[in-house]
């Protein structure tokens, strides 16, 4: 019998697919709908202390090989978010699908405060988004840029919550292995990687103006998958905590490749744009077919295999 469940920090997921933050995790209804569509876990859109409108439209652009976005972390603020998460948690518990609450902040102390407040909703995991690349003008340099600031966030957060902490890392750094080792040492329970690549820009050649209102945005989708796989491979070569591989996973083949690089589970984001909300079920079916064709009984039989070859 083929088994595709995974266990992260002692919490079981029916399958390795996870809704990545910022795609459909805006309301409790959407989170529940994604769970019903086959996701093994769901991640809410990153939340801050106070309501935030984000950047002006246009914020998302499709290009030949993916998407570029500069949404700017729009969210309703933690007070309303906790209410949405509480509603989602009730239904998700019935469905057996874990909830990941993502959050961001402008200061280390605010990361800790947010973690404490979000813990009231009793999500299964918290995800510290320390790596958003498109908000430097108003939120400052991303905390994932260096080990010192990244570890300071983790230590502060861990003092304020007992909920397992996932830390989201950026590919836009000099040495992601150094940062990954540092945050593991600081107490991170898992890592999600990668956030978007960039920033990148597209220009309208008729007007000569950048197309996005923010001028630049983060690249996601199929074009960044080779980068994501390389970064996940690097991270998994130096840490023992679970890694959620994110970046251009659109098919079962992509998910398998990410797990062969060492990922315990895979984040699915822009694939929803290309294949619809049922992409989670489709990816899982494709994984199961691969396993049947290659006579694998569980995911651990090929997870991290690229490190052995």
132 noted as active-site residue: yes
Q: Are strands 197-200 and 190-193 parallel, antiparallel or unpaired?
A: unpaired
Rounded Cα distance, 168 and 31, in Å: 19
- 271: closest CA among 303, 214, 224, 213? 224
The pLDDT-based confidence of 134 (bands split at 50, 70, 90) is: very low
The one catalytic residue in 9, 47, 132, 236 is: 132
Please give the pLDDT value at position 140.
59
Domain spans of the chain, in order of start: 6-307
Give 267-301 pLDDT, tens digit per residue.
999 999 999 999 999 999 999 999 999 999 999 99
Candidate CATH numbers 3.30.750.24, 3.20.20.70, 3.30.70.580, 3.40.960.10; the one for domain 6-307: 3.20.20.70
- CA 245, CA 259: separation in Å to the nearest integer? 8
Render pLDDT for 24-53 as a digit per residue (tens, 0 to 9). 777 999 999 999 999 999 999 999 998 888
- Tens of pLDDT along 208-251? 999 999 999 999 999 999 999 999 999 999 999 999 999 999 99
Tokens of residue 36, six digits:
């019903």
Please name the residue ranges forming H helices in the chain: 28-36, 78-95, 108-118, 136-139, 147-158, 176-186, 225-236, 252-260, 271-275, 279-293
Averaged confidence pLDDT in the chain? 94
**Residue 138 pLDDT > 70:** no
Please give the structure tokens belonging to residue 291: 């396993």
Could you give the CA distance from residue 184 to residue 143 in angstroms, rounded to a whole number?
15
Q: Which two tokens stand for residue 269?
A: 């984001």
How far apart, in Å, are the Cα atoms of 80 and each of 35, 83, 86, 128, 236? Answer: 21, 5, 10, 18, 36
């Amino acid at each position: 019998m083929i088994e595709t469940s995974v266990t992260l920090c002692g919490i079981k997921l029916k399958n390795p697919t996870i809704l990545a933050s910022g795609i459909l995790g805006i309301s409790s209804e959407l989170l529940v709908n994604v769970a019903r569509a086959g996701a093994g876990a769901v991640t809410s859109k990153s939340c801050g202390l106070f309501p935030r409108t984000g950047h002006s439209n246009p914020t998302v652009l499709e290009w030949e090989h993916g998407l570029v976005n500069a949404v700017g972390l729009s969210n309703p603020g933690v007070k309303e978010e906790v209410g949405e998460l509480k509603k989602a948690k009730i239904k998700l518990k019935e469905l057996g699908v874990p909830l990941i609450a993502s959050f961001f902040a402008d200061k280390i102390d605010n990361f800790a405060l947010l973690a404490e407040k979000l813990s009231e909703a009793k999500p299964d995991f918290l995800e510290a988004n320390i790596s958003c690349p498109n908000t430097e003008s108003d939120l400052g340099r991303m905390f994932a840029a260096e080990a010192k600031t990244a570890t300071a966030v983790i230590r502060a957060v861990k003092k304020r919550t007992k909920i397992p902490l996932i830390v989201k890392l950026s590919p836009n750094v000099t040495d992601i292995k150094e940062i990954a080792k540092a945050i593991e040492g600081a107490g991170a329970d898992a890592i999600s990687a990668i956030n978007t690549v960039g920033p990148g820009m597209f220009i309208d050649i008729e007007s000569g103006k950048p197309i996005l209102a923010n001028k630049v945005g983060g690249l996601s989708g199929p074009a960044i998958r080779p980068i994501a796989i390389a970064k996940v491979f690097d991270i998994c070569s130096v840490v023992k905590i679970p890694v959620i591989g994110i970046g251009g996973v659109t098919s079962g083949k992509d998910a398998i490749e990410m797990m062969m690089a060492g990922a315990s589970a895979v984040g699915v984001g822009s694939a929803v744009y290309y294949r619809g909300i049922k992409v989670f079920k489709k990816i899982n079916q494709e994984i199961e077919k691969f396993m049947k064709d290659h006579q694998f009984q569980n995911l651990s039989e090929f997870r991290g295999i690229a490190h052995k070859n």
